[in-house]
């Protein structure tokens, strides 16, 4: 099923509403049986509505004049009329039975239509959210820019809900209204072709207006949805940076930025509301004009006897009932365009191709000899990040990679854990091309402690075991080795205590120790410390440093660092500059050499660690 779903998400020009609509409809293919039954219910609704219109004229004549209506019901009408004429009470019984019977059929058909289409809509959107999350999880961390990350929640909830409404309500209303309109048009033309042509002459103009308004609605609604996404991103950014805002007294400026985003979201929604509000009275005015023209011409035809009164009543009822679905089609067109604008935004994420990474089927074994990079190149657009990099990490060694901001340290880490693939060069794992192994198995062998300790809104235990079964004693051992015992003693529930959103109930140092425990629990033969202490103060750095030392014992360790004081214990230090390794040696050797490393070290001594470029994102 999932392969079919992803094929349904094949690339298309999302600016074309027809293509977007077809992609949305393809998502409902797994539910085609329910769709067919729902369509049958809609057809039954259309037929019963036409039946109401058809019988109302003859029955009214029967009530006022008595007798059968042979001209309308033929042989069956004559036989029924004779039966009714024999007993006046039979007429009331027949009328009551017809009303109840039609109402029952319409009610059952309406229930079937709504329940079945609701199930199709919910099932389809469940699949869409699943595919959307699968797509997000397949991307490299930097493939979603900050603004898109803030907007993701809006796409998952608001835009997907609008897509669901397209399937559940929009598609239902469109098919039902078209079937009812077709049945009533056919009945009107059957009863009187001339009057029918006059009454229906307005339909081409109405159709043109519906299409024109829908196009305008699509553009307006897409801008409105983008504005809502920007507002969601602004809210998330403000919540994440609240401490910085308060510290720098930036409340007024941030409030002004939010007010502007809020104003754009409001204006976008108001523009869409005005279009919807305009279309409904316009359709009503056109329908009234058609009815007026029909009544004016019908008077002469009834007077001359060209059409019987009861036939005209049935005709007028059909045209009057036709007014509702035609008017509804205008509203449905606007509604569909709003939903397609949401689908467009969802497809923009689904169409984002994951960064291509070559990988094989084999499981990467623990590193026994060395991890070697030869002539590795990587670029972002026109910017060459790594330019023929040569580096070797020996088993059991502690290697530190340092460099200025933008030197390529983070890119190097992402290539090593197979989130990105080098454009040229080779990477060998114990002499074997790393492409031989699956990316997931390589990541299982490389435990990462990140710069920013990220915890999920869950228990300490779940955050340590992340993605793996929480085996009791192993989790406790990892927590103990990471120095978490004092933290767990303070927390009510210990390992089962909730850490809060993004670990908000813990300090920065405590969150980092949970991440170290996570790396220890993962196991793996290589430990990657990606700026693991750069965001901590001196006290927290010392506490976390002890936990890192315990974690690194007996493991091959790669340290990416800005604070050069944190790499003193490294067996070897490699200096990354201009996309290449320009110096290697021990701490003392590099300082004595008075090269790039010595310059960086001197800068940090004079101006502090920030001079080396804290927060490198590349």
Contact 50, 318 (CB under 8 A): yes
Q: Which of 322, 350, 378 is the last residue of a domain?
A: 350
* pLDDT for residue 376 is more than 70: yes
In a domain, 364, yes or no: no
Note the pLDDT of residue 380.
Answer: 82
Q: Name the phi and psi angles at 299, rounded to 5.
A: -60, -45
Residues 339 and 408 in one domain: no
In a domain, 288, yes or no: yes
pLDDT digit string, tens, across residues 23-77: 888 888 888 899 889 889 888 888 888 877 777 776 676 666 654 444 454 544 5
Contact 396, 556 (CB under 8 A): yes
pLDDT digit string, tens, across residues 506-561: 888 888 888 888 888 888 889 898 876 665 556 666 667 777 777 777 789 898 88
In a domain, 397, yes or no: yes
User: Coil, strand or helix: which one is 26?
Assistant: helix
In a domain, 4, yes or no: no
Residues 28 and 102 in one domain: yes
Mean pLDDT, the chain, integer: 77
Residues 333 and 399 in one domain: no
Contact 396, 571 (CB under 8 A): no
Residues 319 and 405 in one domain: no
pLDDT digit string, tens, across residues 564-574: 777 888 899 99
pLDDT band (50, 70, 90) for residue 368: very high
* pLDDT for residue 225 is more than 80: no
Rounded-to-integer distance, Cα 427 and Cα 324, Å = 68
Q: What is the CATH number of the domain that holds 478?
A: 3.40.50.300
Note the pLDDT of residue 267.
Answer: 85
Contact 497, 459 (CB under 8 A): yes
* pLDDT for residue 463 is more than 70: yes
* pLDDT for residue 372 is more than 60: yes
Note the pLDDT of residue 2.
Answer: 35
- The residue among 590 and 614 whose pLDDT is bigger is 590
Rounded (10°) angle between helices 193-200 and 309-350: 40
In a domain, 139, yes or no: yes
pLDDT digit string, tens, across residues 153-211: 777 777 888 787 777 777 788 888 888 888 888 887 887 787 777 666 666 666 666 66
Residues 331 and 378 in one domain: no
pLDDT band (50, 70, 90) for residue 283: low
Residues 392 and 323 in one domain: no
Q: H helices within 535-595, ranges in order?
A: 538-552, 587-593
Rounded-to-integer distance, Cα 479 and Cα 521, Å = 9
Cα distances from 534 to residues 15, 292, 528, 563, 610, in angstroms, run 44, 79, 14, 7, 9
3-state SS string for 243-299: HHHHHCCCHHHHHHHHHHHHHHHHHHHHHHHHHHHHHHHHHHHHHHHHHHHHHHHHH
Note the pLDDT of residue 92.
Answer: 58
Residues 469 and 335 in one domain: no
pLDDT band (50, 70, 90) for residue 231: confident
Residues 283 and 186 in one domain: yes
- Please give the structure tokens belonging to residue 459: 């228990």
Residues 122 and 249 in one domain: yes
Query: In terms of residue numbers, what domain contains 578?
Result: 370-612
In a domain, 357, yes or no: no
Q: What is the CATH number of the domain that holds 176?
A: 1.20.1560.10
Q: Number of H helices and number of E strands within the chain?
A: 22, 10
Q: Which of 299, 319, 350 is the last residue of a domain?
A: 350
Rounded-to-integer distance, Cα 276 and Cα 338, Å = 10
Task: Quote the number of domains for the chain.
Answer: 2
* pLDDT for residue 123 is more than 70: yes
In a domain, 537, yes or no: yes
In a domain, 363, yes or no: no
pLDDT band (50, 70, 90) for residue 14: very low
Residues 116 and 62 in one domain: yes
Residues 99 and 182 in one domain: yes
Residues 343 and 407 in one domain: no
Rounded-to-integer distance, Cα 223 and Cα 208, Å = 23
Contact 417, 442 (CB under 8 A): yes
Going edge to edge, which strands form the sheet with 432-433?
383-394, 370-380, 424-429, 432-433
Cα separation of the two ends of the chain:
38
């Amino acid at each position: 099923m999932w392969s079919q779903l992803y094929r349904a998400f094949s690339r298309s020009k999302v600016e074309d509403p027809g293509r977007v609509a077809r992609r949305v409809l393809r998502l409902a293919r797994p539910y085609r049986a329910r769709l067919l039954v729902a369509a049958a219910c809609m057809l039954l609704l259309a037929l019963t509505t036409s039946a109401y219109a058809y019988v109302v004229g003859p029955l009214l004549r029967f009530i006022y004049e008595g007798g059968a209506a042979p001209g309308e019901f033929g042989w069956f009408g004559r036989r029924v009329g004779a039966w009714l004429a024999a007993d006046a009470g039979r007429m009331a019984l027949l009328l009551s039975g017809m009303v109840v019977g039609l109402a029952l059929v319409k009610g059952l058909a309406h229930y079937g239509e709504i329940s079945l289409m609701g199930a199709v809509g919910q099932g389809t959107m469940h699949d869409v959210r699943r595919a959307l999350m699968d797509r997000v999880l397949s991307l490299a961390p930097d493939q979603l820019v900050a603004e898109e990350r803030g907007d993701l929640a809006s796409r998952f909830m608001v835009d997907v809900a609008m897509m669901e409404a397209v399937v559940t309500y929009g598609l239902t209303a469109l098919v039902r209204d078209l079937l009812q309109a077709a049945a009533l048009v056919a009945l009107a033309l059957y009863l009187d072709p001339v009057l029918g042509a006059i009454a229906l002459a307005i339909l081409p103009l109405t159709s043109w207006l519906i299409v024109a308004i829908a196009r305008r609605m699509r553009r307006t609604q897409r801008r409105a949805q983008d504005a809502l996404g920007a507002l969601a991103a602004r809210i998330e950014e403000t919540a994440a940076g609240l401490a910085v805002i308060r510290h720098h007294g930036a409340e007024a400026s941030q409030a002004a930025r939010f007010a502007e985003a809020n104003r754009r979201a409001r204006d976008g929604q108001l523009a869409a509301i005005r279009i919807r509000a305009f279309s409904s009275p316009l359709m009503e005015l056109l329908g009234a004009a058609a009815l007026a023209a029909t009544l004016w011409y019908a008077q002469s035809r009834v007077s001359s006897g060209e059409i019987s009164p009861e036939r005209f009543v049935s005709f007028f009822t059909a045209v009057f009932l036709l007014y509702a679905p035609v008017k509804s089609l205008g509203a449905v067109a606007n509604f569909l365009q709003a939903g397609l604008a949401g689908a467009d935004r969802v497809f923009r994420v689904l169409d984002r191709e994951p960064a291509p990474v070559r990988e094989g089927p084999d499981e990467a074994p623990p590193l026994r000899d060395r991890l070697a990079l030869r002539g590795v190149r990587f670029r972002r657009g026109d910017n060459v990040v790594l330019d023929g990099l040569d580096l070797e990490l020996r088993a059991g060694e502690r290697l530190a990679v340092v460099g200025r901001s933008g030197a390529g340290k983070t890119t190097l880490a992402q290539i090593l854990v197979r989130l990105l693939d080098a454009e040229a060069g080779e990477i060998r794992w114990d002499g074997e091309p790393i492409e031989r192994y699956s990316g997931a198995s390589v990541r299982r062998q490389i435990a990462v402690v990140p710069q920013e300790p990220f915890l999920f809104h869950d228990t300490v235990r779940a955050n340590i075991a992340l993605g793996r079964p929480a085996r009791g004693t192993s989790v406790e051992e990892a927590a103990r080795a990471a120095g978490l015992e004092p933290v767990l003693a303070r927390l009510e529930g210990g390992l089962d205590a909730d850490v809060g959103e993004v670990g908000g109930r813990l300090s920065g140092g405590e969150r980092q120790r949970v991440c170290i425990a996570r790396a220890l629990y993962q196991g793996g033969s290589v430990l990657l410390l990606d700026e693991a202490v750069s965001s901590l103060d001196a006290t927290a750095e010392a506490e976390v440093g002890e936990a890192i030392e315990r974690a690194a014992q007996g493991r091959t360790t790669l340290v990416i660092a800005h604070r050069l004081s944190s790499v003193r214990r490294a067996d070897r230090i490699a200096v990354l500059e201009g996309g290449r390794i320009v110096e290697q040696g021990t701490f003392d050797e590099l300082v004595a050499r008075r090269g790039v490393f010595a310059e960086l070290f001197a800068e940090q001594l004079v101006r502090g660690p920030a001079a080396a470029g804290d927060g490198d994102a590349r």
